[in-house]
Amino acid sequence: MDADTLVRHRLPVVMICGNNGAWGLEKHPMQALYGYDVAADLQPRCRYDEVVRALGGAGEIVTRPDGIAPALRRAFAAGVPYLVNVITDPRSPTPAPPPASDPAWRRDPPPGRSCRWLPPPGRERRPVDQDPLHRA
């Protein structure tokens, strides 16, 4: 699980879960195409934040839009992996992605990198055979 890895490596990553209690990328297209959906519902208001807390991170549930900003401030100040579990309306369809022609959608990585991931300061990437965390 990603949260377990973040806790073990002490990476203070803030995660935001838009929790609509459904596989939204499956449910709404199935309903649009077929008029029904199959196996697309999840446990309503599942406490994913408590899962992260049980693994050694932190988190909280947010049920109102005005609670998002304060929750994010607490998350960034926590210094540990933190999940902000935002309860959303399951009837609201997943928004479509922007078109590929949108300039914000097409950003090239920095020169010399194949992706935009940058390690946190003091944790520069090393070849796998030199990484003490790697187990062969």
Is 104 inside a domain boundary?
A: no
pLDDT tens column, 50-96: 999 999 999 999 999 999 999 999 999 999 999 999 998 877 766 65
pLDDT of residue 88: 86
Residue 136 has pLDDT above 50, yes or no: no
The count of structural domains within the chain is 1
Residue 56 placed within a domain: yes
Expressed as residue numbers, the domain containing 32 is 2-91
Element (H, E) at 112: none
Instruction: Supply the pLDDT for residue 120.
Output: 52
Tell me whether residue 119 is in a domain.
no
Percent of the chain at pLDDT exceeding 70: 55
Residue 112 lies in a domain: no
pLDDT at 116: 46
Alpha helix segments (H runs only) across the chain: 2-8, 24-34, 48-54, 68-78
Q: How far apart are CA 17 and CA 43, in angstroms?
A: 14
Q: Which residues contact 72 (CB under 8 A, 6 or more apart)?
A: 14, 16, 84
DSSP 8-state secondary structure symbol assigned to residue 16: E
Residue 55 placed within a domain: yes
Residue 128 lies in a domain: no
- For residue 115, report the phi and psi dihedrals to the nearest 5 degrees: -145, 175
CATH code of 69's domain: 3.40.50.970
DSSP-derived letter for residue 37 is: -
Looking at residue 32, its amino acid is: A
How much is the pTM? 0.62
What mean pLDDT is reported for the chain? 76
